[in-house]
Structure 1
């Protein structure tokens, strides 16, 4: 009999003592049978069980993690506890289904999970899953009974409140305490919808549809749901980018990356019971429409004028199937905005589906003109949404295939012909792409030399180099980045900074400095981190990202978006630098450049508006509790909405446009953006202009720079700083 077959017959570990195994089995059987909490006898939930294929896949995953992952991490008793905590966090992230009594009892299996996972014995994880599903069913039935009593009977005059984020809250002591919490949760949901203008009948129908949908999903739980959740709690111990794909997810692997084919063009991932937006695909419908943002969480999906379908608790692939649809049709997403004060504040975004075309992701250029102190500067700007290459055309031998480097080379030639004084490369919101394109792009700006180092789990280091001694552009250079600049963008920006080839301006980048490979299993696939990027100066781009030479504040919440915001992210470290040229030393001018930038921004109305917006968002993010008193909640809601309106109108005033009369007018205008994908909000981008001003400062402060960077006069000195 194989180990996997033995797993199906014996639920627990042969390595445990007979007494320990019996205790473990008794513990979980008592929980599932309801000895510790009353289970509704009318429930039709059928407990799910592991399969032989899943057990074999578990063994393969454990081996791959131990012997091929970049991080050297063994499967120990300490890991057992971390897997247990991560698994419960996935199944009950807001701590609204399980009680402290449940946790105390389940904790008896905590120290055994590692050994079980090492040998493919899945039953302990499945028993935990089944117990949580039963608790979910109990809670949803409780919620539906409350709705049966009528929401008009609820009292909103008391001075009560509810914690917004319960991810780190204590577990409620028992079922009675959970009952009280769920009463407050439903009151909170009712209040939020009342303040959005819904009447009680519509609210009750909406909530009933939500809870009944979740209840239906709980009853339809599949063995694969439990296995995927359990394996991802396990693989996530190594790093957040290592994950298990079920056979269904593997068939639709690109779904996890983007909905680029007749969809909305958004990168989605599961975030506990929600589907979260990770990033937007450049040139895609969502990006062009402009309202959907990273870290927004999807609550419901509606087709055209149909009623919205609540998708809380749905599997990622099912949400994706619902969002995808025919080109030119409209899908409406109800989302919890990333900056929402609590999970009951939602907005609906209508997006016209379309196909993301390669040409719409291509690099583009413009020339901005700056008049300063009687002198005019012409600054070329190249926007690079992603690092792309038409691999199919390349493999077919098409001499005119599209790629980032080929397109930028052409754009630079056109800008040089236009007589620009300097160049701004805009990599904001560029999530990366083809690694070789980042390498080749660096080569347009340097003579020759290394661009990035890649270290694998065996500490072998590969150095990618630009071997072409030609330089396409040798003038002054500024690279714009933000928190959504990741991976290949960080490689390019880091190399430009290390070479002293230009200044990096903006906010700290994402910090994605790892490389993954997808490996087939007997059942599904494993995406595993196998190597790590390092700059030519030796520092990793992992975790820290690239720190700009001149920083500009951002609306993006670094605490929620970025590698350092992810659990178990690989740490920053460094290896030896490799010899590389140093084209210019900004040490003598950087302080003056920062001072000029600061003075300019402090007097800029656009920057003052940005600061006001960031302060507003930070205040929202700091909200721990929301009131369940109608009058207090209404006052708070009105304050938030008026601030939104005032910021929107201040921006319109800067653009010379008529202000919105009220919030309804603002929302109507936002909804109209979905009607035409090319009618997005063309907000004045003062960040680009500031990049141009920094360029002009560089030229004014040190006229030597132009001569130093001239190809006939500079000397590239190899060094390893």
Structure 2
């Protein structure tokens, strides 16, 4: 016992007597400070990035400078809180942050975070003081809402004037919602109260920020400096990421948010425990949580959402009791007690979905086309590792859909990958195998320059008929692997716009693998081996998604920066320089390797030429195409606007002009769908020119 006591004492001494931190964070102040666990993790992440990352990153002045800029941009992107003097005082830390990380010293970035927190609360409190100040809406002045290229403001007076204008703009926005039936003075008082509560809520949320939040922001600035797709996730974020990848979660099956300091139910997920029990309704408020049938209730009023969710969620088969205030009842009302057994819930809204569209060609022939919308490439890795025969995945769901579409005798299939940011590499390969015979799908080169050729695992093709794939700028990673393979094999036609241009592969690694026994003993001795904020089942030290490889098409070309170019291209408002991989300063460069042998499924060049010709002819007389071009023009114009009017007459006139334009546009779009102007307000008008045109071109493949 005495020996263990001495070991613990020595370990605490090691922690306490490490190298002097760069910044002395006052132990007695309310400022956030890094936990010992954070310091251990930062050291290990620095080591991982130097040793195992595809782009090995030495911890030096150059990297530190990028981390510093990233952190300031993450904290104050609009340059509305820090002054030029603040920034000049921070410059002493610019060239040291990565080297400090390697030593486990997080004092400088935590100091910057605390300074931002102070400035944020200070300016929000000033904003509240400006709500009751008389504002003259006849003065011709403007408010710069956001300008990342702006210089830092010289002094506090300029910052305060910025916030005066912000309050004036927020009040004016509310003022313009006043109806003719409302009393103007009463409406103004109501608007002031709305804005006061809004700002008070922002202050409240900032005051609830904890050391884990600061650590997540700091580590994101760190990893982004190396590579935009290498990311450290704290335990809570790691759990959410893994749930998203598996398309499942374990809990009660409800979407929650904070309203008036209370956890409020905003959605009950079909098929989950809350849905089956029928005891919970939208806008019910959860004010207490107990674990198990006999557990004691914890009051969660005023808690942060993630902390409350960590208590409500839990492993399937376990019981959680909720103290619930029914929607519409006063806070003083007697709550009801709801007992639920947690289950594994499938997020169906994020799964592959199908619909069948009927299209008529120029000759009057009908074609039935199956459209499969795929939001992401998901896979339940945990169930797969446990050899669960019913594990959920993209390829399994799409296989079932294809079987259904074949039974319904569709003439062609279109996979819609727009806004699909990727996911599982394994699933990209499995999905490709549903459409091509056995053969290579993608080449993967690791950090040792070894090239692995990933093959389609089976010769059993699920769909041999005509195939189209729709992409856009936000189709990335696994989407690009699939679209690239379909294009290279001549298996289908790609429609839409050029993809994101992400050609790297990440591995999700539990940080526990890198935490030594010595570090664990040190943390235990310091009483920091367990983080009370870590959700049940989450990786205790978080997770790092690290870039460990690049992928290449079977032709040897990388999709990095260049993406997959469609065969039939549509205009887009999203340029690669602003919205693609090329917008990321730390992105890896494009390159190519040798092609691998593969047998093409076919040659669609003549069909593609016929499609291009028909597409060009159709667009010449397409009102919908003109609307798409107008939308792009309007987006590009609005994207450059950084100033807004603070003169009521000007802002009102501008709003009315926009409203009239939108109304007329809706009427015109409705006319294309055969909807009369008097029925426009009640109609749901789905304007999707890219999908509509793709469907009208697909019969050329089906003939």
Output the TM-score relative to the length of structure 2.
0.74
**1:527 maps onto 2:515 in alignment:** no
Q: Which residue matches 2:432? A: 442
Deviations 1:377-434 (A, max 9, x none): 4544444444455668767877777654455455555655666554433333444444
Alignment partner for residue 639 of structure 1, among 632, 657, 670? 657
**1:246 maps onto 2:225 in alignment:** no
Q: Which residue matches 2:283? A: 304
Q: What's the offset of the Cα at 1:481?
A: 1.9
Change in Cα spacing, 1:503 to 1:140, as seen in structure 2 (3 Å) is same
Q: Which residue matches 2:354? A: 364
Q: Within 5 Å, which residues of 2 pair with 1:336-347?
A: none
Q: Which residue matches 2:613? A: 595
Q: What's the offset of the Cα at 1:104?
A: 0.9
Alignment partner for residue 204 of structure 2, among 206, 210, 216? 216
Q: Which residue matches 1:164? A: 145
Q: What's the offset of the Cα at 1:494?
A: 0.7
Q: Which residue matches 2:570? A: 552
Change in Cα spacing, 1:661 to 1:407, as seen in structure 2 (3 Å) is closer
Q: Which residue matches 1:468? A: 458
Alignment partner for residue 317 of structure 1, among 291, 296, 306? 306
Query: What secondary structure sits across from 2:440 in the alignment?
Result: strand
Q: What's the offset of the Cα at 1:605?
A: 3.1
Q: Which residue matches 1:183? A: 164
Change in Cα spacing, 1:541 to 1:126, as seen in structure 2 (3 Å) is same
Q: Which residue matches 1:623? A: 641
Deviations 1:589-639 (A, max 9, x none): 644532321221232233333333333333322212111111111111222
Change in Cα spacing, 1:111 to 1:591, as seen in structure 2 (3 Å) is same
**1:226 maps onto 2:214 in alignment:** yes
Q: What's the offset of the Cα at 1:106?
A: 1.1
Change in Cα spacing, 1:123 to 1:376, as seen in structure 2 (3 Å) is closer
Moved more, 472-481 or 390-399: 390-399
**1:493 maps onto 2:496 in alignment:** no
Alignment partner for residue 100 of structure 2, among 109, 116, 119? 116
Q: What's the offset of the Cα at 1:461?
A: 2.1
Query: What secondary structure sits across from 2:86 in the alignment?
Result: helix
Change in Cα spacing, 1:504 to 1:264, as seen in structure 2 (3 Å) is farther
Q: Which residue matches 1:692? A: 695
CA distance in 2, matches of 1:430, 1:507: 13
CA distance in 1, matches of 2:47, 2:116: 28
CA distance in 2, matches of 1:565, 1:323: 39
Contact 1:382–1:424, Cα closer than 8 Å, also in 2: yes
Contact 1:75–1:115, Cα closer than 8 Å, also in 2: yes
Change in Cα spacing, 1:640 to 1:557, as seen in structure 2 (3 Å) is farther
Contact 1:484–1:509, Cα closer than 8 Å, also in 2: yes
Q: Which residue matches 2:532? A: none
Change in Cα spacing, 1:8 to 1:509, as seen in structure 2 (3 Å) is farther
CA distance in 1, matches of 2:205, 2:364: 68
Query: What secondary structure sits across from 1:84 in the alignment?
Result: helix
Change in Cα spacing, 1:688 to 1:231, as seen in structure 2 (3 Å) is closer
Change in Cα spacing, 1:81 to 1:3, as seen in structure 2 (3 Å) is farther
Contact 1:539–1:573, Cα closer than 8 Å, also in 2: yes
Alignment partner for residue 55 of structure 1, among 39, 47, 51? 39
CA distance in 1, matches of 2:137, 2:466: 62
Query: What secondary structure sits across from 1:532 in the alignment?
Result: strand
Q: Within 5 Å, which residues of 2 pair with 1:192-203?
A: 192-197=173-178, 199-203=187-191
Query: What secondary structure sits across from 2:498 in the alignment?
Result: coil
Change in Cα spacing, 1:330 to 1:77, as seen in structure 2 (3 Å) is farther
Q: What's the offset of the Cα at 1:85?
A: 1.1
Alignment partner for residue 477 of structure 1, among 449, 463, 467? 467
Change in Cα spacing, 1:256 to 1:95, as seen in structure 2 (3 Å) is farther
Q: What's the offset of the Cα at 1:67?
A: 0.7
Alignment partner for residue 65 of structure 2, among 76, 81, 84? 81
Contact 2:230–2:544, Cα closer than 8 Å, also in 1: yes
CA distance in 2, matches of 1:506, 1:441: 20
How many aligned residue pairs are there?
A: 597
Calculate the aligned-residue CA RMSD, in Å.
4.2
CA distance in 1, matches of 2:490, 2:65: 47
CA distance in 1, matches of 2:244, 2:403: 37
**1:129 maps onto 2:113 in alignment:** yes
CA distance in 1, matches of 2:177, 2:578: 26
CA distance in 1, matches of 2:403, 2:626: 37
CA distance in 1, matches of 2:702, 2:359: 15
Change in Cα spacing, 1:540 to 1:157, as seen in structure 2 (3 Å) is same
CA distance in 2, matches of 1:415, 1:83: 50
Change in Cα spacing, 1:303 to 1:107, as seen in structure 2 (3 Å) is farther
CA distance in 2, matches of 1:382, 1:249: 30
Query: What secondary structure sits across from 1:437 in the alignment?
Result: helix
Query: What secondary structure sits across from 1:228 in the alignment?
Result: helix
CA distance in 1, matches of 2:255, 2:425: 21
Deviations 1:575-600 (A, max 9, x none): 22211123444455644532321221
Q: Which runs of 5+ in 1 are unaligned?
A: 14-24, 34-43, 269-280, 286-301, 307-313, 332-353, 670-680, 701-721
Contact 1:249–1:317, Cα closer than 8 Å, also in 2: no
Contact 1:609–1:650, Cα closer than 8 Å, also in 2: no
Contact 2:361–2:696, Cα closer than 8 Å, also in 1: no
Alignment partner for residue 103 of structure 1, among 63, 84, 87? 87
